[in-house]
Chain A
Amino acid sequence: MKNWLDKMPKRMNWTDYFEKAPHLWPDIAGRWPGFIQAAKEKAAAETARKGFPHARLEAWRKTPLNQWRTAAVEPAGVSRRVSDGRLFPAATIHIPLTNGIPVATWHEENSISFGRLSEAVQQMPEVVKQYFGGLQRLSDDAMTDFNTAYFKDGLFVYVPEGTGKVRLEWTNLIDAATAHLWNGRMLVIVEPDNEVEMAGTDIAEGEAISIGTRVAEIFVQRASTFRFYGWQQLNDVSALVGHYFMQAADEARIDGFNFPLNGGLLREEVWADITGSGARVNLHGFYAPAGDQQTDERIFVAHGAEGSFSHQQFKGLIDGRAKALFNGRILVRPGAQQTNAYQKNDNILLSDEARAHSLPFLEIYADDVSCSHGSTTGSLNGEALFYMQQRGLAPELAQRLMLYGYADEVIGEIPDEELQALTRRLVRAKIDGRLSSETDIFALVREEILSPVE
């Protein structure tokens, strides 16, 4: 199959990709079935029309992309390199990705199907057609159009009704040996009555700039549970802008945990669209940017059915010249009565140059609801620190203990004990300054399992 991206100039600025999208589009033709072609064509036009996100846009005001805007990057090709690193020991399915694309070919295992999206359109065209692009329209961010126009391939996972418990993990190896642009895509369909856990790690290899976008569409159908865990470990000149669209049908449950570890910009935008009554969505995150890193957590939960529940819990620790943004949004659509929604965001600043932005939004169009949020920003509790020092702990240790406890409020919510312990190690290493962008997190986890520092 001819790779259309090969025809493009070897290197371009990220902004050029935006402006040239419609001109490059004819090169994309011929690869995908009509409905995806049409979506790509439309997205290419939208990408050019909207242009590269500028600082006057509400969604990008606090996220300067200057560092990447003019970075000359070439489209990531197909890499043979694979990471066998794993963080989810209980997973029975492991899917290595490079630059967002599954390395292995189509797979069917215990009625579950997974593989490349380009294979899925051959294997189960009706399913792809029914779901592809169905959630993306929730956002009008140009980045999602950009991704749609440019994605080469992606991950497809299909769990048919009544499969039961499924645990899978993907490890995405990002090629940062030279400056690259990659665009990952995911389509996950969880049919009724399943319990799916998915862990995903993004790791960059190399010291060059990598710019990545991801659009994931995840359908969680009636009475199914979908639980996901994310870790991102990039170098400090790389950026990842991810959009995760999820739909929760009747009595469905979504639990999410995100732990941005390292990266120049780690931006996650989650849209949980609750369309079924009695659905529950719990989203958690802990971020600890340091140096010149920035993390963005943009969490949008839309309640569109009666009697649904959502909880957002995001905590951050900001050091160096780093910046963290939390923009939580609860939307209660008209008629979504008996909604119960809560969001909580806490930030601790550890240095004089650190900055935190907290934007906990509520948008409520139904009256019989209970919605609330809380946000705190500050430094560590001086009295508690004093108390611990007064009990004989060195100041540094006292501070560390407090930060551990602070992070544990999020980590402790992870139901899987093994995952909990492992995440705790990663986060504590980051708090201690032992987890930089050069750290091999898989090795770190292995080492620490052998010699825990409790």
Chain B
Amino acid sequence: MKDKQAYQDEILNEVTERDYQFGFESNIETETFPKGLNEDIIRRISAVRDEPDWVLEFRLKAFRAWQKMTPPTWPHLKLPDINFQDLIYYARPKPRKKPNSLDEVDPEILDIYNRLGIPLEEQKALAGVAVDAVLDSVSVKTTFQEELRKQGIIFCPISDAIRDYPDLVRKYLGSVVPYSDNFYAALNSAVFTDGSFVFVPKGVHSPMELSSYFRINARGTGQFERTLVIVEEGGYVSYLEGCTAPQRDENQLHAAVVELIAHKDAEIKYSTVQNWYPGDKEGKGGIFNFVTKRGICLGDRSKISWTQVETGSAITWKYPSTILKGDDSVAEFYSVAVTNNYQQADTGTKMIHIGRNTRSTIISKGISAGHSQNTYRGQVHVKKSAVGARNYSVCDSLLMGDKCGAHTFPYIDIENRHATVEHEATTSKISDDQLFYLQQRGLDEESAVNMIVNGYAKEVLRQLPMEFAVEAQKLLEISLEGSVG
């Protein structure tokens, strides 16, 4: 264990002591398994991580289920044929003495990062943000851990949690997203390597935002994070997830699973800014992002709030969902999804009402530009037991250009007559009147569009923690660059 600690410290220093080179393929050598997926590979993943038997069992069960499954065909996505046997399922960074110079970084990418203003140093400087930097598959180090520890909050890589808190992990892992839930979740359950574990004990209000920066690294590997957040009775946590990725030609697969558990009177706020490499202007390359995110409001009066700003990835397949089991529990979903060039996104949420007087809100804002396709897909399911359930959904889509598509597929299934469910959606372009008005006030067209887009997305952006909101706003502008006129 001592060796591991030293090793982690070394990597952490490497990462933190230099400028954060977003988009730069960190030249950290990786211990990489051969391509392909079979029970041997899974046993090796489990062995190299010193996992207890029950984790290996979980993985194998998932793998066997996965083998019998096929990727879903219902999303409004044109998926390339992914050869799942042609991927590397495990890569671990090894320490290396010197980072390479900035010259190797794609200047275009560097420019974007500078404009976003999000070097790690700055993130560190932002008061109250704990960073769990995930480089490829092994979580490197968790900062601020000591302070959290004082409050009884556990915030660590899930691999550490499996080692240090096996009972907790065993109790909750797969309890919200079963290993056989869907094709990508089963794949994740079989091969997951890291992600974060958060546990907030009874009555504790996390004193800071917990933040995890995920990065994809090493050519040809996918990342399979597993995140588990548990908040006990009366607790509160706000969790931030943000991603950047290096520019590359090869498509990369990403299949994460996130599980949230909110006990009685607990609240979880889960925010994501996702700006992975979307592919180039011709639609070449980019990340494939297949994510299963689901939370359960287990106890009465619990609350789960999802906020996402999705601007990256070539393909996004993601439906952060909430099961409202406890009476009077509350769920929210706020989303801005931007697609440009040849990006495709099929994203939305599911609200499953089981408890009495449960309430959910869905605010989704889609923006499509270029040749992209942007789909909102969401379900509101009020079960028979959900007396007095309420849902309010608004799904707006903005089209920029006549080559893109914006689609809205709500599924509203109501089995209780004492429920009230309202859904509305609009699709349109930016109104000429608004543009004219702003231009007439002296703004150029691009600034005018940015202003309108920001106003359009504000309802969602203001749900983000402050530092994320600023970053996200800039991200929208950059993502839509060149789509005007």
Residue positions of A touching B, CB distance < 8 A: 58, 62, 334-335, 337, 347, 349-352, 354-379
Contact = CB atoms under 8 A, between A and B. Distances in A.
A372 B412 contact: no
A376 B390 CA distance: 11
Given A352-B417, A367-B429, A370-B428, A375 B410 contact: yes
Nearest to B417: A349
A357 B400 CA distance: 32
Interface of B: 74, 76, 384, 397, 399-429
A397 to B, nearest CB: 20
B428 A365 contact: no
Nearest to B426: A372
B402 A378 contact: no
A368 B417 contact: no
Given A347-B414, A368-B402, A358 B74 contact: no
B407 A359 contact: no
Contacts of A351: 417
B407 A355 contact: no
B149 to A, nearest CB: 47
A376 B421 contact: yes
Contact of B413 (A352, A355, A376): A355
A319 B412 CA distance: 18
B417 A359 contact: no
Contacts of A347: 414
Contact of B414 (A350, A355, A361, A370): A355
Contacts of B424: 372-375
A369 B399 CA distance: 9
Nearest to B430: A367
B414 A375 contact: no
Contacts of B405: 363-365
Q: Which are the 10 A-B pairs with shortest beta-carbon distances? A: A349-B417, A367-B399, A378-B420, A358-B412, A362-B408, A372-B426, A375-B423, A371-B427, A377-B421, A367-B429
B402 A361 contact: no
Given A360-B410, A369-B427, A377 B74 contact: no
B415 A355 contact: yes
Given A366-B402, A379-B417, A361 B429 contact: no
B417 A364 contact: no
Contact of B412 (A357, A362, A363): A357
A370 B405 CA distance: 13
Nearest to A375: B423
A373 B429 contact: no
9 contacts: A356-B414, A357-B411, A357-B412, A362-B407, A364-B407, A367-B402, A367-B429, A374-B423, A375-B422
Most buried by A among B406, B425, B427: B427
Given A58-B74, A362-B427, A369-B429, 9 more contacts: A337-B402, A357-B414, A358-B412, A362-B425, A368-B429, A372-B427, A373-B424, A375-B412, A377-B414
A375 B412 CA distance: 9
Contacts of B74: 58
A192 B294 CA distance: 55
Nearest to B415: A355
B410 A359 contact: yes
B410 A364 contact: no
A262 to B, nearest CB: 21
A242 B241 CA distance: 49
B250 to A, nearest CB: 30
A301 B9 CA distance: 61
Contacts of A334: 402-403
Contacts of B408: 360-363, 373
Given A334-B402, A368-B402, A371-B426, A363 B407 contact: yes
A372 B425 contact: yes
A335 B403 CA distance: 9
A354 B427 contact: no
Nearest to B397: A364
B211 to A, nearest CB: 35
A350 B428 contact: no
A271 B90 CA distance: 50
B423 A358 contact: yes
B346 to A, nearest CB: 12
B413 A357 contact: yes
A335 B423 contact: no
A349 B414 contact: yes
Contacts of B425: 360, 362, 372-374
Nearest to B420: A378
B402 A335 contact: yes
B404 A359 contact: no
B381 to A, nearest CB: 10
Contacts of A356: 412-414
Contacts of B400: 367
Nearest to A376: B422
Given A349-B417, A352-B417, A378-B420, A361 B427 contact: no
A360 B408 CA distance: 8
Contacts of A376: 420-423
A399 B403 CA distance: 49
Contacts of B429: 367-369
B421 to A, nearest CB: 4
Contacts of B419: 349, 377-379
A377 B382 CA distance: 10
Contacts of A369: 399, 427-429
Most buried by B among A335, A352, A362: A362
Nearest to B400: A367
A350 B417 CA distance: 6
Contacts of A375: 410, 412, 421-424
Contacts of A62: 413
A337 B399 CA distance: 12
A349 B416 contact: yes
A61 to B, nearest CB: 10
A349 B384 CA distance: 12
Contacts of B415: 355
